[in-house]
Structure 1
Amino acid sequence: MASIKKDVNGKYYFVMDAGKDPITGKRKQVKRRGFASKKDAELTLSEIKLELERNKEISNIANLKFKSFITQWFNAKKIKLKPSTINNYEDQLHYNILPYLGEVKTKEINEEIIQNYITTLHTERGLAPATIRSAYGMVVEVLKRAIKKRIITEDFLSDISLPREVKRIRVWTEDDIYTFLEAPKRILNLTRHYIGFVISVQTGMRMGELLGLRWKDIDFENKIIHIRQTLARNNDDSFDFSDEGKTASAIRSIYVSQTLITELKKHKSLIDNEIMINGNSYLNYDLVICTRIGNWVHPNNFRRAFKVTINQLDVPKIRLHDLRHSHATFLLSKQVNPKIIQERLGHKNVNITLNTYSHALPSLQREAISKFDDLFTDRDHNL
């Protein structure tokens, strides 16, 4: 409550009960003096009341438990997330965030609480650094909102220590790739999904992009594969087709070799024959990689087929996703411009490409600097 009064000097003033401070919890009074007119005092009083209402809102949020605050944030963020990303966020919340921070009041979260949380995930749970960083990234985004709203008064986030993430990318050499591409000559009962692995190592396409690839997305004449559809996981762990890529740059076109075009034509003959045999019972999704009746292939089955295939060959054991890494590393070793590799892989920018495949750069640097030795050698020969 507040009332405007005139003092002995003819100036106006007011004293107002401002309620409790949202941070300290102590009651406050707001006093203002020296107004030349009552109208000036009323205007200032109205502004202060608006500010107090904002503070009251902050106080209500500050007393919320973190699980309520992060849930509000997540529900708003869902609008712009893909179903597969929503599913990943929900898993992080359920397993790696709420059990540890959910019952803490948002205003009470500090450096010690967050550091203990990170340490628990690392030492007691034994989670991979990448998983911890992913969960922490969500927490950080929410805490930054709390700091911006002055619910948390100190920005301590830059002082948090995270487990070091050591990325070990396993890739095939040029000889390994050649051995793998010779698989039809070495394996009698080769999986029907082998064509997908060939596409991957020759284009760097992601698994979801491979499993969503349609024949109409392949320009045989101009030797181009257009990435326009992916197989993506839904919130309920089912799968469906999506016309959205992992990033905006994921929707792209990739030039391919004549060798791959030839293999694709052979595979299309197999598919056309199955369509004729199955007739109306064939599920014509127009997929390049599909079951015998045209249905999409579950990612687990695709990975399993890859594992079985490489177990029959004299090549290092790598993950299916490492075919994408092998593609990029091979091109780097052939001095292909990283910008071209970035576009083929669908990375958001070239820095991601360079950082991801930095393991290949030392050998390229040695090769680059050797050009100066060649310069002097050539000059010496000409003398």
Structure 2
Amino acid sequence: MTAPKRRKARANGEGTIYQRKDGRWEAAGYVLAADSTSKRVRVYGSTRREAADKLTEKIADSNRGLPVATSDSTVGDYLTYWLGSVAVHRLRENTHTRYATCVRLHLIPGLGTKKIARLTAKDVRTFLNRLRISCQCCTQGLDAERKACCAIGECCRKLLAPSTVTYVHSVLKSALEHAVREDELPRNVARSVKAVAPRPRRFQPLTAAEARQFLAAARTDKLQALYELALRTGLRKGELLGLCWEDIDLTSGTASIRSSLQCTRTSGLSRLPTKTRASERRIALPMGCVQSLTIHRERQEKERAVAGTDWQDKDLVFTTPTGSPLDPANLTRRFRGLLDRARMRRIRFHDLRHSTATLLLEQGVDLVVIKELLGHAHIGVTAGVYAHVRLRLQRQAIETLNDALPRPDDDPRVPPEAAAVR
């Protein structure tokens, strides 16, 4: 009698699952790779079900035409897959665009041909060191297009800013971190490379006297309420431009920050949710802001009446004469014009936010309160950005204590012999 054929545990195309000697379960199957070929992928789990579920998910993505990264992918292939299939769903459009530019200009040219499974910390360190000292005109071939730099034998030494090199490093770490989560890599080698901390960007906040001068100059400007809010509450430019009347309660003197106006390639000017949960907050409005907002609302109602049917009712607080959103670039130009008319030194619009925090710190306001007002995710961010202010305040405090506790030999009320005994 012929023995019956053994039934397959899994159907064709579903891959294989077996337990390794170390106790973990390994599942393997063929999927669509980032380079459009069919390649074998392996996933791991602490149980058979976990490994099977991971493999099923990858095969399902492959059947839908989504490429899946494999351990023998090149860094360039994996970065392309990660940008198109993973990061695009997790990042804001402008952030994704910056990531894509970073990958295209720096990561793929520098590391793209290396196998991701064979990438080492030394490879990453060598790449970053080379990136720091390479002229970007020569590296990107711009010298040939412009007939300058190395094309004429005179390198301009246009180097990347240290902050840009740090950003490239962070993008690579994010991509490899996802590879670790997908069991394509045992560890993130980019994290083993110590980043060179870039020198913090210097900003020039307004002094108290300059802040008063700025507010006085803003009184004759149509956007007085916006400048008042920027300097008195520290709101970001996007938060100011995305503010709606429904977010403001002039009776109780509060404002809810829920959105930010952003300019993207696909949607143009549009209101988006705040970048982080901490940025979504409710703040108290100073009396000066309540008064200027009340005047601003009356002026806007007159503009609405003049515009008639041309008015675009988006409920925005700060708009053009027809109700459409204000362009951030136009606001920057208007802000510079205001500084020039007031004969004040040039600062960035974002320095108004720094001015708010600096002036509050100098008035002795607790760092936790400032963190909540600015919408920082962690108090370490607030403490780090304004460390120089805190150091100055510490020095003032120490000097104040020193004045209160003079040395005995400096105190005319203490006899010299008594000071000597002490």
Alignment TM class, shorter chain as reference: 0.7 to 0.9
Counterparts of 1:215 and 1:147 in 2: how far apart (Å)? Answer: 45
2:28 to 53, 75, 85: 53
Contact 2:169 2:190 in 1 (8 A): no
SS in 2 for 1:57: strand
Contact 1:122 1:132 in 2 (8 A): yes
Question: Is 56-65 or 339-348 further displaced after alignment?
Answer: 56-65
Q: CA RMSD in A?
A: 3.0
Contact 2:314 2:324 in 1 (8 A): yes
Cα distance per residue 1:220-263 (max 9 Å; x no partner): 11211211221123353722112x21210111111121112111
Query: Which residue of the partner structure matches residue 88 of structure 1?
Result: 98
Query: 1:314 deviation in Å?
Result: 3.1
Query: 1:368 deviation in Å?
Result: 2.3
Correspondences of 1:249-328 after superposition (within 5 Å): 249-328=278-357
* Pairs aligned (count): 333
1:201 to 208, 231, 234: 231
1:339 to 344, 364, 368: 368
Counterparts of 2:90 and 2:412 in 1: how far apart (Å)? Answer: 64
The letter of the residue matching 2:96 is: I
Contact 2:166 2:196 in 1 (8 A): yes
Query: Which residue of the partner structure matches residue 219 of structure 1?
Result: 249
**Cα separation, partners in 2 of 1:239 and 1:116, compared to 1, 3 Å:** farther
Counterparts of 1:301 and 1:255 in 2: how far apart (Å)? Answer: 28
Q: TM-score, normalised by structure 2?
A: 0.71
Counterparts of 1:165 and 1:262 in 2: how far apart (Å)? Answer: 41
SS in 2 for 1:119: helix
Is 1:134 matched with 2:163?
no
SS in 2 for 1:199: helix
SS in 2 for 1:226: strand
Q: TM-score, normalised by structure 1?
A: 0.78
1:71 to 76, 80, 83: 80
SS in 2 for 1:323: helix
Contact 1:205 1:345 in 2 (8 A): yes
Counterparts of 2:395 and 2:131 in 1: how far apart (Å)? Answer: 40
The letter of the residue matching 2:228 is: V
Query: 1:339 deviation in Å?
Result: 0.5
**Cα separation, partners in 2 of 1:142 and 1:184, compared to 1, 3 Å:** closer
The letter of the residue matching 2:174 is: E
SS in 2 for 1:127: coil
Query: 1:295 deviation in Å?
Result: 0.3
Correspondences of 1:356-375 after superposition (within 5 Å): 356-373=385-402, 375=404
Query: 1:153 deviation in Å?
Result: 7.4
Query: Hey, which of these two has a bigger chunk of helix by percent?
Result: 1
Correspondences of 1:172-211 after superposition (within 5 Å): 172-184=206-218, 190=221, 192-211=222-241
1:162 to 179, 193, 196: 196
Contact 1:114 1:160 in 2 (8 A): no
For structure 1, the residue ranges without an aligned partner over 5 or more in a row are 1-44
Counterparts of 2:226 and 2:348 in 1: how far apart (Å)? Answer: 14
Query: Which residue of the partner structure matches residue 6 of structure 1?
Result: none
**Cα separation, partners in 2 of 1:134 and 1:172, compared to 1, 3 Å:** same
Cα distance per residue 1:121-142 (max 9 Å; x no partner): 3222322222221221110123
Counterparts of 2:380 and 2:188 in 1: how far apart (Å)? Answer: 32
**Cα separation, partners in 2 of 1:108 and 1:270, compared to 1, 3 Å:** same
Higher relative contact order structure (alpha carbons within 8 Å, sequence separation ≥ 6):
1
1:245 to 274, 279, 291: 274
Contact 2:28 2:40 in 1 (8 A): yes
Contact 1:229 1:245 in 2 (8 A): yes
Query: 1:56 deviation in Å?
Result: 5.5
The letter of the residue matching 1:72 is: Y
Counterparts of 1:154 and 1:213 in 2: how far apart (Å)? Answer: 41
Contact 1:214 1:287 in 2 (8 A): yes
Contact 1:129 1:164 in 2 (8 A): yes
